[in-house]
Amino acid sequence: MENRFPIFDVSPVVHYGSELVPVKAVAKEAINVRATVIREGHDGLVVEVVLLDPLGVEVSRAAMREYWPGTDRYEADVCVTSLGLWHFFIEALSIDRELSSKSPLFPIYAEPDRALVGAWYEFFPRSEGATLNADGSIKTGTFKTAEKSLQRVADMNFDVLYLPPIHPIGYAFRKGRNNTLNPTPTDPGVPWAIGNADGGHDSINPDLGTMKDFEHFVKAAAKLKIEIAMDFALQCSPDHPWAKDHREWFTIRADGTIAYAENPPKKYQDIFPINFDKDYEGMLEESFRVLNLWISKGVKIFRVDNPHTKPVQFWHELIHRVNLQYPDVVFLAEAFTRPAMMHALGKAGFQQSYTYFTWRTTKHELISYGTEVAQETSAFFRPNFWVNTPDILPFHLQSGAPSVFAMRALLAATLTPSWGMYAGYELYEHIPLREGAEEYLDSEKYEIKIRDWTKPALAPFIGLLNSIRRQNPALQRLRNLRFHQTDSEKILAYSKRDGESLILVIVNLDPIHAQETIVHWNFFDLGLEERAFNVVDLITGHSFEYTPHSWVRIDPASPGTPVGHILKVTL
């Protein structure tokens, strides 16, 4: 590196240990590049960011501006236009261009759009189409009956349907309803207790049908433009073939038995965790084999269960190996854990991750966390905002108030380009296991649920949210999130802009009472001149003229007024 003009503090740059790994991007996504560049004396300096395509050819050279006078801190946007490994560098030049310095090359990897953008829905196939027998027992749903539910998912405009494990379920120490240790003979077991005599991670639960049925299900979903995401859980039941044929993959107790999973005070006698220090390469090869099988069946998205309980380096090697052969495969980390681990998994290769959004409810929390994921960690961590999961019934949903469900869905769907929802949310399911618990009573993890999908529900509103996301490119980007000042702690305002697409969102965080305030728009962030401008509410269809300081009132109790506004600025 030539150091005539020092160039340092370049961002975005991502380090994974001592290794430099690419910044995450998708094609046509703008990435803000910043650097500190200094020159002795008082002469001027030209600073440029240069973008190289995957062949190493210079495709753009943008002038960087000093965005805060006197700081020597420069910025400019670059935009990768196709998939693959790109690079950028910073060049500083004297005004006559006789003297120059260049930074090292920094990588950017452009992945498929699904790595960044998606509306996810989760259901258990065994519950879809399940029926109640005359004797009170339940006839399980199958892939064939679940195919009929695909239209319901499509009507809500979801892009991804995530299925919990669809493999054979173990019998040893099987759990019953509400996690009881005394199951009845008809209890179906927990899908994450994978494996029995019918097979393991490469097999289909016979109760759900055959492999051919699954392949037909994937194709039926594709016809509705829905991608199937599978669960990839590296653990097994005591009945799994691995427990018999590969005891070297587990921790063996002094008495010769395999150690089951524990998360004190919880014990999971029905699940054996993998010991990756016993035969690391063997488990790596087996994982690659299993993933290859399901990819061959048309699956391109994997939701990885508890990746934070496995070595991070394992995921780095496995995901890299899969993506070398299949660049369009996406991995979502189900890692509700410490921030450092979640960030490390992103740097190791996970395209997306579950997040803390589920527990961020106040205005301050949402602004702080939204700013973090959009601007501070977006180079290596892509968030997927889930409003609920089979494991998590957040306290704010336990009132059952429809306005709470609508408000949280609106936030999740517009703050980030990927969000998720577990079946039953649209029916306002909200009964906890017990007071103080963030778990569902009669959890679907332990039983088959029969739901009445004919009841009035939130589904039309969910479908509208997802339709608005599809039609407005600004809502399909992460780094463009900007918050705006309001005079109320109960009203949150933010904007997203991508080219000519400019969206404003105003949300009442109080699900019970009407709130009103003045929103003070930051016109620099909006990219507009400071003057009155016109908007159309994409939820109601109403048009307004907004001023730089706009008065709003949102009443969640009014049938004609939603819990917030999604406003398209008519440029």
Cite the active site residues: 305, 334
47 bridge partner residues: 92
Cα 260 from Cα 253, distance rounded (Å): 10
**Residue 170, token pair as written in the block:** 């173990």
In three-state secondary structure terms, 269 is: coil
- In whole angstroms, give the CA distance from residue 179 to residue 182: 9
Residue 384 · residue 350 · CB < 8 Å: no
Instruction: Give yes or no for a contact between 37 and 66, defined as CB atoms under 8 angstroms apart.
Output: no
Contact indicator for 479, 375 with CB cutoff of 8 Å: yes
- Taking the C-alpha atoms of residue 167 and residue 181, their distance in angstroms, rounded to an integer, is 21
How many helices and strands (H and E) does the chain possess?
Answer: 11, 34
Angle at 354 between CA 348 and CA 356, to 5 degrees: 115
At residue 280, what are phi and psi to the nearest 5 degrees?
Answer: -55, -50
Residue 328, Cβ density class (10 Å: 0-12 exposed, 13-18 middle, ≥19 buried) = middle
Question: Is residue 435 packed enough to be buried (19+ CB in 10 Å), middle (13-18) or exposed (0-12)?
Answer: exposed
- Give the count of alpha carbons within 13 A of 368, CB side only: 8
Instruction: Please report, to the nearest 10 degrees, the dihedral formed by the alpha carbons of residues 398, 404, 407, 413 taken in order.
Output: 30
Kindly report the CA angle at 277 between 271 and 279, in degrees rounded to 5? 85
Dihedral of alpha carbons 63, 67, 70, 73, sign: negative
In order of 112, 426, 446, 538, 570, the CA distances from 500 in angstroms are 22, 33, 48, 16, 9
Alpha-carbon distance of 29 to 12, in angstroms, equals 14
Using the Cα atoms of residue 38, residue 42, residue 43 and residue 48 in order, give the sign of their dihedral: positive
